[in-house]
């Protein structure tokens, strides 16, 4: 069931134009920086967007400009670590062609973790790409998790398994819940 949903939402995202993704990304950015979650976070763990994910470049640049410590995913074996990013230009290609940093500085419990995914539901469950990296990270971390999604990617209900971790919040172009 999850694999079928994953395929469906990957295809839906593929069909969305870049302009539409940027529109959703801009609306989410505008809403995010006004939230208490963002305002009160000193350390933020954020994915570096690729393909047609909600774009995080503006979020990363603004966070660094605001003096926040930014951490990005670093994949090591089957684990994902949050490694420090000093400036956007320091990003390099890592495992799975995911942009990351060469920094050795990591954080265990960032104040806020921004999570990508393909679909979400009202219970704040999500379907990612199937690697389980975020579920494993969130299971052992004390952080506030916030999924960034375009509103058309909402599902009625996502089937869950015992290792799936629901997010604390979801932010879409329509708002925070």
Cα gap 61→86, rounded to integer Å: 10
Q: Is 127 annotated as a binding residue?
A: yes
Q: What is the rounded (10 degree) CA torsion for 101, 164, 139, 113? A: 40
Q: Is 3 annotated as a binding residue?
A: yes
Q: Is 131 annotated as a binding residue?
A: yes
Q: Is 147 annotated as a binding residue?
A: no
Q: Is 130 annotated as a binding residue?
A: yes
Q: Is 67 annotated as a binding residue?
A: no
Q: Is 4 annotated as a binding residue?
A: yes
Cα gap 162→156, rounded to integer Å: 19
The position carrying tokens 């999850």 is 2
Distance between first and last Cα of the chain: 25
**DSSP labels, 113-153:** EEE--SEE-TT--EE-SSS-HHHHHHHT---EEEEE--GGG
Q: Side-chain half-sphere of 130: how many Cα atoms within 13 Å?
A: 10
Q: Is 126 annotated as a binding residue?
A: yes
**Binding-site entries:** 2-6, 48, 53, 126-134
**Binding-site entries for substrate:** 48, 53
**Binding-site entries for ATP:** 2-6, 126-134
């Amino acid at each position: 069931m999850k694999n079928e949903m994953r395929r469906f939402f990957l295809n839906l995202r593929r069909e969305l134009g870049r302009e539409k993704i940027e529109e959703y990304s801009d609306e989410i950015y505008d809403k995010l920086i006004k939230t208490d979650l963002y305002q009160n976070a000193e350390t933020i763990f954020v994915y570096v967007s690729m393909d047609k994910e909600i774009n995080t470049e503006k979020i990363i640049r603004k966070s660094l400009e605001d003096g926040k410590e930014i951490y990005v995913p670093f994949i090591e074996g089957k684990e994902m670590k949050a490694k420090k990013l000093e400036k956007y230009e320091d990003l390099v290609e890592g495992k799975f062609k995911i942009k990351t940093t060469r920094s050795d500085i990591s954080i265990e419990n960032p104040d806020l973790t921004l999570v990508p995914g393909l679909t979400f539901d009202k219970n704040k469950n999500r379907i990612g790409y199937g690697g389980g990296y975020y579920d494993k990270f969130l299971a052992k971390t004390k952080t506030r998790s916030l999924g960034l999604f375009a509103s058309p990617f909402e599902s009625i209900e996502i089937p869950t398994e015992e290792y799936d971790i629901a997010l604390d919040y979801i932010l879409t172009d329509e708002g925070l819940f």
